[in-house]
Structure 1
Amino acid sequence: MTKVAVLGAGSWGTALANTMAKNGNQVVLWSHKEVQAAEINDKHSNEKYLPKAKLEANLQATADMAFALDGADIALVVVPTKAIREVGGQLADCLKASGQKVILAHATKGLEQGTHMRISQMLEEVVPAECYSGLAVISGPSHAEDVIKSDLTAISIGSTDVKAAQALQEALANESFRPYTNSDLVGSELGGALKNIIAIGSGMLIGKGYGANAQAALLTRGLVEIRQVGKALGANAETFLGLAGIGDLIVTGMSPNSRNYRAGRSLGQGKALSQVEEEMGMVIEGVNTVKAVYDLQSSLKLDLPITSALYRVIYEEESIDSAIKDLMTRPLKAED
């Protein structure tokens, strides 16, 4: 039996914690809200993030991070990108105080604004190397709403540390949840972050009334941009043809369970971004990632027309119709 501390009790953190608890592991789910931890413990539910889901009775929750981490073999961080440094700092303080060492993992899909850092890079800056034995990322096509119902799911665990990846793999694997491992931490993180950009665009097309042809074209050409950015930042191009790449892109770019897709669809239907964010009540990672990658493309000497179009729509208030026209009337070229 493995002891796991899951830091972050949103939908994905709860679903992953529940999966590992279901497998017989000792899992403590940390929330920064005492009332949420109490609900999970007393009612075995997390209604705000996973309505009507019944959580495993052996899943324990707490608002005390030190308690969650006490004796843990694995610390899995599942909070929004903007909270990574704060939560990572608290994690580091707890580990330094206890003198323990954990396998450090995360399941957050984004890039930091300004620095353009990946999540593992942010964690490396705030958590001392002596506090963890390996660093891994959980990525791939997986909606919490489906995982909590034991829908068949396959994900990817990226790490340069084989033992760390295998420890997570063993804690998560069961008849409905199949984790694979790969050695490309960079590509796994970038695939998870960059597909959110394309998912917003896919939702916009559906919101505007376009059909499967348009959606397929956007997802396919979007994958080209994802691979270009990935290669420029040191990822293995093949990673984007697997679960952490095209797999995650498909599920995020086509499913109503995807908040990025839903946000794009609402924007396509004419709603303002502020209204969409208020109605969803959850972080839309792709909105920030659009800006991060748009800012990056000049230094990387890349041409990212879809990302650029979405940036203009979201941050410069260009109309979606105008952005679509610009994309469809660009100079003709060979497929790359």
Structure 2
Amino acid sequence: QECVPQCEVCVLSGPSHAEEVAREIPTTCLIASENEEVAKMVQKEFMNPKFRIYTSTDVIGVEIGAALKNVMALAAGMNDGLGFGDNSKAALMTRGIAEMKRLGIAMGGKAETFAGLSGIGDLIVTCTSMHSRNRRAGILLGQGKSLEETLAEVKMVVEGVNTVQAACHLAEKYHVDLPITQAINDVLFHGKDTQTAVLELMTREGKSE
């Protein structure tokens, strides 16, 4: 928008690992544009029997979901690397979507976006699939490897590493509490032990959901 303000900007997001899209495994995504007619035009061009597209006008919400789900996937991988189970991962994903929604709304996004494909849908696939680079990186971190060792082993871009720093800056700017995101940032960049981070999250003051 800054570089080409005369153009209509669209965002494509959702649970869509490229490995499966390329194999024509049925996939459903979301196209977001502030101009609904443009979103519908892109929907028409992209949609086929193996790739279903929905539309949205909530560009900010879709972008925040697409970015922050990578942070939560790092956390989900750490959960697996630490040897935790389904209970902890389910809690992590649920409280993770709450953080994503909290920041998204503060930045002007819509709450309902985070219950859809670019929110909970993308979060589920990224936190549970071995196609996910962020989850794989989290597993290695949970097993005790350093960030440098982890990135060297994954050998691909792990988006959540940079995103977690940006998310913490945004949380400060918009006065939003993101405890899981902050914990991941502390593990990656401030030398906090993963077990300590988990303990601190679990022993925070009790509150209503």
Q: Give CA deviations for 1:84-121 in whole Å, capped at 9, x if unaligned.
A: xxxxxxxxxxxxxxxxxxxxxxxxxxxxxxxxxxxxxx
Which residue number corresponds to residue 12 of structure 2? Answer: 138
Task: Say whether residues 1:126 and 2:3 are aligned partners.
Answer: yes
1:167-186 alignment, distance < 5 Å: 167-186=41-60
Task: Say whether residues 1:246 and 2:120 are aligned partners.
Answer: yes
**Distance in 1 of aligned mates of 2:91 and 2:185:** 19
Structure 1 residue corresponding to 2:37, chosen from 150, 158, 163: 163
Which residue number corresponds to residue 150 of structure 1? Answer: 24
Unpaired stretches in structure 2, ≥5 consecutive residues: none
1:276 alignment partner AA:
T
The structure with the largest helix share of the pair is 2
Which residue number corresponds to residue 158 of structure 2? Answer: 284
Which residue number corresponds to residue 200 of structure 2? Answer: 326
Q: Calculate percent identity across the aligned residue pairs.
A: 47
Larger radius of gyration: 1
**Distance in 2 of aligned mates of 1:310 and 1:158:** 29
1:235 alignment partner AA:
G
Say which SS state the counterpart of residue 30 (structure 2) adopts.
strand
Say which SS state the counterpart of residue 23 (structure 2) adopts.
coil
Say which SS state the counterpart of residue 31 (structure 2) adopts.
strand
Structure-1-length-normalised TM-score: 0.61
1:223 alignment partner AA:
I
**Distance in 2 of aligned mates of 1:256 and 1:187:** 26
Say which SS state the counterpart of residue 160 (structure 2) adopts.
helix
Q: Give CA deviations for 1:19-61 in whole Å, capped at 9, x if unaligned.
A: xxxxxxxxxxxxxxxxxxxxxxxxxxxxxxxxxxxxxxxxxxx
Structure-2-length-normalised TM-score: 0.96
**Distance in 1 of aligned mates of 2:153 and 2:39:** 37
Structure 2 residue corresponding to 1:256, chosen from 120, 130, 136: 130
Structure 1: which 4+ aligned runs deviate by more than 3 Å? Answer: none
1:187 alignment partner AA:
G
**Distance in 2 of aligned mates of 1:274 and 1:164:** 42
1:268 alignment partner AA:
G
Q: Give CA deviations for 1:294-329 in whole Å, capped at 9, x if unaligned.
A: 122222112111011111000101000000000011
1:200 alignment partner AA:
L
Q: CA RMSD in A?
A: 1.1
**Superposition deviation, residue 164 in structure 1:** 2.1
**Distance in 2 of aligned mates of 1:308 and 1:150:** 37
Q: Give CA deviations for 1:65-92 in whole Å, capped at 9, x if unaligned.
A: xxxxxxxxxxxxxxxxxxxxxxxxxxxx
Which residue number corresponds to residue 198 of structure 1? Answer: 72
The structure with the largest strand share of the pair is 1
Say which SS state the counterpart of residue 125 (structure 1) adopts.
coil
**Superposition deviation, residue 282 in structure 1:** 1.8
Say which SS state the counterpart of residue 204 (structure 2) adopts.
coil
1:266 alignment partner AA:
L
How many corresponding residue pairs?
209
Unpaired stretches in structure 1, ≥5 consecutive residues: 1-123
**Distance in 2 of aligned mates of 1:160 and 1:125:** 15
